[in-house]
Amino acid sequence: VKLEKKSGKVYLDFNATTPIQAELKSALPEVLEVWGNPSSIHWAGQQAKTLLRDARISIANSLGVSPLELIFTSGGSEGNNTVLRGVFEKTRGLARSEFITTNIEHPSVLKTLSHLKDLGAVVHQIGVSKTGELDWEHLSRVLGERTALVSMMLANNETGLILPLKKVTEMAHAVGALVHTDAVQAFGKIPVNLAELGVDYASISAHKFYALKGSGVLFAKKGSDIKPLIYGGGQERSRRGGTENVIGIWAMGFMTSQFSNLSERADRVRALRDQMESEILKTIPQTRVTHADRERLPNTSNLILEGVDGETLLMSLDVKGFAVSTGAACSSGNPEPSPILLAMGLTRPEAQSSLRVSIGWTTTEEEINSFISTLQQVATRLRNLHQRNEPTFQEVTT
């Protein structure tokens, strides 16, 4: 493969995925010497098994749970699918079989639930407003003895909004319902203690915290039922068949062993993000930040630049070397505005003029400063074109 040189490029899309941490990259070659099947009894298998065990302990510590409560998966989508489909299968036809979720979840939750709806599931979707408020009235109305599972993300990928998971968990448990959280965006950005949150199930994904793609963890609280999505060998105590992704799992352990200084890292990232937002709001007129007054992930900024088409902005910034997003990663190249922003109550023009900037541990002040000055130039140019009704970059290039 021939890779394009990265010099002069600035990556500001850490919610889509993170680069592999430099220290992890340096440590990888040695671990690649371990190739045994962890299920084998012999020495080769034992080496691999040791890597898995150490990683399980490190990840469990970082989540405040016990190692045996973790199931290794291929990532966030698999964790979400396992819980939702498993609960559906177990509760189908019972008095307690309904699902409650929000309308701002990742597609791996919303599309799975929509599939289950086709199979007969009852699903209640609770709204989250433009100001970040959960529709408590709707939740109280539908939560009850018919609820099997509440699935609510800990933090939203597009605006960084942190949802009131602890309170919702207490409400759900009070009526005997189980709680699952998609903690994919939160884990690695803020400290996450699953025992404190009290949830029954949680999904996390390695590639959001500087580890390798294609691996993740599903937390299933001790005593909670979990039906495998993948049947096979007896791996993961028969809760997930398939030979484990040993290197991917080891990499998650490597990263979580550094989480003791996560708060400091988050503080640094937050300071940089806040500095960027205040400079942008001060110097680019008619600009807003979605969910700015809410508790948010420290790294995420969802900007609305009135009168600027987000997709055109994204492409113009890309030409200049800046990688950002207009919402869900899969929306790139698709002119439809982000359905999640629309679900939050943003108008179509607002959603269409949104830009998601998500920064990370390696983002520097210089990168942010050069991004701000490029955004100022590009936004001004696009607004001028828009006012003169001249074709935009997108129209010229497509």
In the complex, the residues that contact ligand PLP under the rule CB under 6 A are 75-77, 106, 108, 153, 157, 182, 184-185, 205, 216
Enclosing H/E stretch for 216: strand 216-220
- Beta carbons of 206 and 70 less than 8 angstroms apart: no
From 3, 95, 330, 396, the catalytic residue: 330
**Distance of closest approach, residue 281 Cβ to ligand PLP, in angstroms:** 26
Nearest distance, CB of residue 366 and ligand PLP, angstroms: 27
- Whichever of 184 and 315 has its CB closer to ligand PLP, that residue is 184
Name 217's bridge partners.
Answer: 72, 204
DSSP 3-state percent helix, strand, coil across the chain (nearest 5): 45, 15, 40
First-to-last alpha carbon distance for the chain, in angstroms, is 28
Write the single-letter amino acid at 376.
Answer: Q
Smallest CA-to-CA distance from 238 within 212, 215, 254, 220 is with 220
Go through the chain and tell me how many residues it has.
Answer: 398
Question: Cβ(216)–Cβ(55) under 8 Å?
Answer: no
- Minimum CB distance to ligand PLP smaller for 211 or for 284: 211
Can 330 be counted among the known catalytic residues? yes
Token pair recorded at residue 130: 């433009």
Which letter, b or e, does each residue of 273-299 get, where b requires 16 or more Cβ atoms within 10 Å of its Cβ?
beebbebbeeebeebebbbbeeebbbb
Task: Work out how close the CB of 229 gets to ligand PLP at its nearest, in angstroms, rounded to a whole number.
Answer: 13
Closer to ligand PLP by CB, 71 or 382: give it: 71
C-beta of 76 vs 337, nearer to ligand PLP = 76
| Burial readout 142-181 (b: 16 or more C-beta within 10 A, e: otherwise) | bbeebbbbbbbbbbbbbbbbbbbbeebbebbeeeebbbbb
Could you tell me the smallest distance in angstroms from the CB atom of residue 144 to ligand PLP? 27
Count of CB atoms situated within 10 Å of the CB of 120: 10
Shortest distance (Å) from residue 208 CB to ligand PLP: 7
Nearer to ligand PLP, 58 or 112 (CB): 112
**Helix 22-31 × helix 246-256 angle, to 10°:** 140
Cβ proximity to ligand PLP, 182 vs 309, nearer residue:
182
Residue with tokens 């489909």: 85
Which sequence positions are flagged as catalytic?
330
